[in-house]
Structures are given as C-alpha cells and as structure tokens.
C-alpha cells in the first residue's frame, strides 16, 4: 500500500528539502500524491477559494513545481505565442523559466533562452504540444529546466545561470514534439532526451558535467518521465518504452533489466510505483502491466504480475491504497493494483448531457507525451482521499478515492477558455493550476 510515509522514504535518499515541496513532474517520485495531510479545496471558482492568479509571459503546457515560497514554471514567447499556425518569425522564439512568489502570485524573475535553430515549426500535431512541455525539477537549491533542442539550463533560486548543456537537436519523426521531464537522483540530473537524440543523459547537477549517456533506438516514440524505485538495496531508474519496461542504474546509465510491457508503438505516460512494483499503461490498445522491479536481464517470466487489456490513453494514473485510478475520454476507471481486476469503469456525463471529455480518436499526449488531438493531457493528482482531474477545457473533476465511484464536484474558473494541459501541483493545502498563459493558486 502506498502511503505518504512510503513516498517520503522513496525520496529520502535523493532529496533534503521540505516534505511539503512539489519538486518535479507529478511531485514525490512522480506519484501525483500530495506529500502532506493539509486539506485541499474540493470546490472553487473565479470568486471562491482563488487566492491569486498570475499572467505568464507566454503559453505552455509544462507543470508548475513548488520550492518553498516559490513556484517555477516554463513557457515560450516570440513565435506562435498567440496559437496561430504558420505565422511569425520562428527565429524570435524564446523559452522562459519563470519564478512566481507563492504568497502573492507576483513574478519574481523571468529568465529567457533563445531557441536553437532550426526549430520545428508550429503547426499540425506539433501545435497540440508547443515549445514548453517539459516540467522543471529542483533540489531545493537550484532549478533545472529542459528546453528540448535548446538544451538543459541550471539556475540558482534567484535566477542566476549556473550551467548549460546540449542533449541533441533531432526533430520528432512524427512531428508530435517533445515532452519528457528531467528528474534528480542524488547528485545526478537525469534528462530524458528521447526525441532530441533517442538517449537518456546523466549530468552532475552542480557542474553540468556529463556523467553518462544511454542511447537506444527503443526510446523513439517515448514521452514519459522516468521514476526511481528502491529495490534489492539499490535504486533502479525505470521507464516504459514501446513494448517494454526498462530498469537502469541511475549512476551509470547501464541497463540492468527489462520486461515485455505495453503493446503499443508509442508510450505517452509515465510509470507509477508502490516501491516494489511498477505499473505501466498505454493508449491505442497498448493495455497495462504490473512488473516487479529489480533483477537482471530479461525478467518478463519471473517479474510480470499481471497484464490488462485497457489503460490510460495519455494521463499517468494515481496509485492509492492498492488501487489504480485514471480518467480517459469519458470513462473513470479503478483497478486493483495487486490483481489487475477492474473495480469500476464509470462513464462521466458532461454538464451538457453528453459524455464528458469526448474522445475524438486521437491521444493528446504531446503535453505530457504524444501529440494527437483529442482527449485530456493533464495527469490526475491526489490529496486527502480525493483525485483531481483537469480537462483540456479547464473543468476540474474531483472524485473520491475508493472502491466506489463518487463524483464530488466539478470546478471551472470562469472566463479562462484557454487550453488546460498542465498537471497541477499540490503543497501545504494549496492546488497550483496552470492554463496556457495563467497560473492559479487554489486555497481555502
């Protein structure tokens, strides 16, 4: 059973920061679960439980992170910032790392980086993704932003540049864009440059020195973010790729084990773990799988616990008290994590009387992976026994976690009709919600 205590144990070997901070994509070890017990509002609007809103320098779909009294988020400007396709001067494109004051919503600093050219043009399926999809990561002392072709950039918390490194400049072969986010393990910054060079990198977080590079054609069509699992007295860096689950040594980048995984030609979401087992899901018939982490070589026969026929299309699921939860299209699903047995599969009706979040036949994940239109891109997060799911049109569904489906509320900030593709952050009872150009603090 995954608990807040076990989440903190998972992080204890890598981070020495406040337990309430949300330092990477989907928070503690990518779980999506709030690391503290403070209640988070289940109802809000433009006039209720909205502490502040901040207008960002440009659009983006990366998620905010929380470091003490500061919020960090990325965006882009200079080209296609108005969402218009095929217009403007692409050489004016810049990517931004923005620091926002947690108490007031005021922007404390904004550091921009000119885009390395040539860059992919904004249009087609790439426009479902944009130029700011990677969520930054922090160790509480520095913050690290991955800007795709424009490289990895390290700053201190006051915005002083520390170092920069390139990780490739390839175009995505499907023109879906790039989205996987960096993570930290101890002193190693791990950068999943799956689109930029079909490789994963390890850098010394202090100096920017490249420690290792793990190249593989198998990384193609992968948009998930890695997680770390502490098993057998060691840390395994795990990632789902098309058809397999891989486990690496995070200090050397060497592959330790692999297993047959998701039967799909693309993987748009990330793994989750209870500390021993990793759970993967995929869209377009890829199904789902539970693999015991650890071992050596091909562990398919010994470590596969169960496989399932369905899974989340884009969003990474929530693992809470031995159950997996996700919303895909108009369906909310709960599955027993131990056996793979489905607990419920409920259709969510929209306020207009038709199914919510209608599936249009694609998979949205360029925001979090992939790049086909349709579906919601944000992954759910959880706090105090509630799941929070953000639709692309800005409606947030709050669902009670448990063996029976129970919709608690539907929330929307009136007036913001922009795209909502970022996964929220939760810290100290506050929910940080990001639309294309606006960051919101939801708080009692």
- Asked whether the beta carbons of 137 and 182 are under 8 A apart, the reply is yes
- pLDDT given at position 84: 77
pLDDT at residue 373, rounded to an integer: 41
Asked if 202 and 190 touch (Cβ cutoff 8 Å), the reply is yes
CA dihedral (280, 286, 289, 295) in degrees, to 10, reads: -80
CA-wise closest residue to 432 among 381, 358, 397: 381
- pLDDT at 186 exceeding the cut of 60: yes
Residue 262 binned pLDDT confidence (cut-offs 50, 70, 90): confident
Instruction: State both tokens at 361.
Output: 């036949």
The DSSP line for 243-304 is: TEEEEE-TTT--EEEEEE---SS-B-S--EESSSEEEEEETTTTEEEEEE---SEE-HHHHE
pLDDT number for residue 173: 86
> Cα dist. 189→31, 172, 231 in Å?
19, 23, 20
Largest distance between two CA atoms of the chain: 56
pLDDT of residue 409: 98
Average pLDDT along the chain: 90
pLDDT at 263: 82
- pLDDT average, residue stretch 112-116: 98
Both tokens of residue 338? 């131990």
The mean pLDDT of 193-216, rounded to a whole number, is 98
Q: 371: pLDDT confidence band, cut at 50, 70 and 90? A: very low
Nearest to residue 422, comparing CAs of 365, 359, 356, 370?
365
Indicate the range of 310-314, 320-324, 435-439 predicted with least confidence. 310-314
Question: Residue 370 has what pLDDT?
Answer: 34
d(CA 197, CA 199): 5
Share of the chain above pLDDT 90, in %: 79
Alpha-carbon distance of 56 to 95, in angstroms, equals: 12
CA dihedral of residues 19, 23, 26, 29 (deg, nearest 10): -70
What integer pLDDT is reported at residue 406 of this predicted model?
Answer: 98
Lowest mean pLDDT across 89-103, 104-118, 245-259, 278-292: 278-292
Question: What are the CA-CA distances from residue 45 to residues 102, 246, 274, 411 (Å)?
Answer: 19, 42, 34, 6
Instruction: Work out the number of other CB atoms within 10 angstroms of the CB of residue 215.
Output: 14
Q: Are strands 255-260 and 297-298 parallel, antiparallel or unpaired?
A: parallel
Residues 81, 359, 135: CA angle, nearest 5 degrees: 40
442 has pLDDT over 60: yes
d(CA 383, CA 5) in angstroms, rounded, equals 14
pLDDT at 42: 98
pLDDT at residue 365 tops 50? no
Beta carbons of 97 and 145 less than 8 angstroms apart: yes
Q: Minimum mean pLDDT among 45-59, 156-170, 305-319, 375-389: which range?
A: 305-319
- Please report, for residues 157, 247, 287, 401, the alpha-carbon distance to residue 257 in angstroms, rounded to integers and kept in the order given: 37, 5, 21, 33
Residue 215 has pLDDT above 90, yes or no: yes
How far, rounded to the nearest angstrom, does the alpha carbon of residue 242 sit from its chain's CA centroid? Answer: 18
Percentage of the chain beyond pLDDT 70 is 90
Q: Evaluate if residue 283 carries a pLDDT over 70.
A: no
Report, as an integer, the average pLDDT of 268-282.
Answer: 94
pLDDT, residue 82, reads 87
**Regarding predicted confidence, which is higher, 349 or 235?**
235
Rounded mean pLDDT, 354-381: 50
Q: How far apart are CA 61 and CA 437, in angstroms?
A: 9
Which DSSP string do the residues of 193-248 spell out, in sequence order?
EHHHHSEEEEEETTT--EEEEEE-GGGTTB----EEEEETTEEEEEEEETTEEEEE
Residue 144 has pLDDT above 70, yes or no: yes
129: nearest Cα among 80, 92, 179:
179
Backbone φ and ψ for 211, nearest 5 degrees, come out as: -95, -35
pTM of the model as a whole: 0.91
CB 128 within 8 A of CB 419: no
């Amino acid at each position: 059973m995954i608990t807040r205590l076990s989440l903190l144990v998972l992080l204890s070997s890598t981070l020495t920061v406040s337990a309430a901070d949300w330092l990477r994509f989907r928070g503690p070890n990518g779980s999506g679960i709030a690391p503290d017990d403070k209640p988070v509002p289940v109802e809000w609007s433009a006039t209720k439980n909205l502490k502040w809103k901040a207008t960002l320098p440009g659009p983006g779909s990366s998620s905010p992170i929380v470091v003490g009294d500061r919020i960090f988020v990325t965006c882009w400007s200079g080209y296609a910032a108005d969402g218009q396709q095929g217009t403007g001067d692409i050489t004016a494109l810049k990517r931004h790392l923005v620091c926002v004051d947690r108490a007031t919503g005021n922007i404390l600093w904004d550091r921009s980086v000119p885009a390395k050219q040539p860059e992919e043009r904004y249009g087609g399926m790439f426009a479902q993704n944009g130029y700011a999809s990677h969520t930054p990561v922090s160790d509480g002392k520095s913050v690290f932003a991955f800007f795709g072709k424009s490289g990895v950039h390290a700053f201190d918390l006051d915005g002083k540049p520390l170092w920069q490194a390139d990780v490739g400049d390839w175009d995505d072969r499907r023109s879906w864009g790039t989205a996987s986010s960096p993570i930290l393990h101890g002193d190693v910054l791990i950068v999943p440059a799956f689109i930029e060079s079909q490789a994963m990198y390890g850098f010394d977080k202090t100096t920017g020195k490249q420690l290792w590079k793990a190249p593989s054609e198998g990384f193609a069509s992968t948009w998930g973010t890695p997680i770390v699992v502490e098993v057998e007295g060691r840390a395994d860096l795990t990632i789902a790729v098309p058809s397999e689950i891989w486990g690496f040594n995070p200090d050397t980048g060497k592959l330790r084990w692999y297993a047959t995984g998701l039967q799909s030609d693309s993987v748009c979401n990330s793994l989750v773990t209870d500390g021993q087992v990793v759970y993967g899901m995929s869209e377009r018939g890829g199904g789902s799988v539970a693999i015991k982490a650890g071992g050596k070589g091909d562990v398919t026969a010994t470590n596969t616990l169960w496989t399932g026929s369905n899974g989340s299309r884009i969003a990474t699921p929530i693992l809470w008290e031995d159950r997996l939860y996700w919303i895909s299209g108009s369906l909310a699903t709960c599955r027993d994590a131990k056996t793979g047995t489905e607990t419920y599969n409920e259709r969510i009706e929209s306020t207009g009387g038709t199914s919510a979040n209608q599936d249009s036949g694609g998979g949205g994940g360029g925001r979090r992976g992939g790049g086909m239109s349709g579906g919601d891109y944000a992954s759910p997060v959880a706090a105090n026994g509630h799941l929070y799911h953000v639709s692309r049109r800005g409606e947030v569904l709050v669902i009670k976690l448990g063996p029976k489906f129970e919709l608690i509320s539907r929330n929307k900030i009136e007036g913001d009709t922009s795209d909502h593709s970022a996964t929220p952050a939760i810290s100290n009872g506050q929910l940080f919600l990001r639309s294309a150009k606006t960051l919101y603090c939801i708080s009692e």
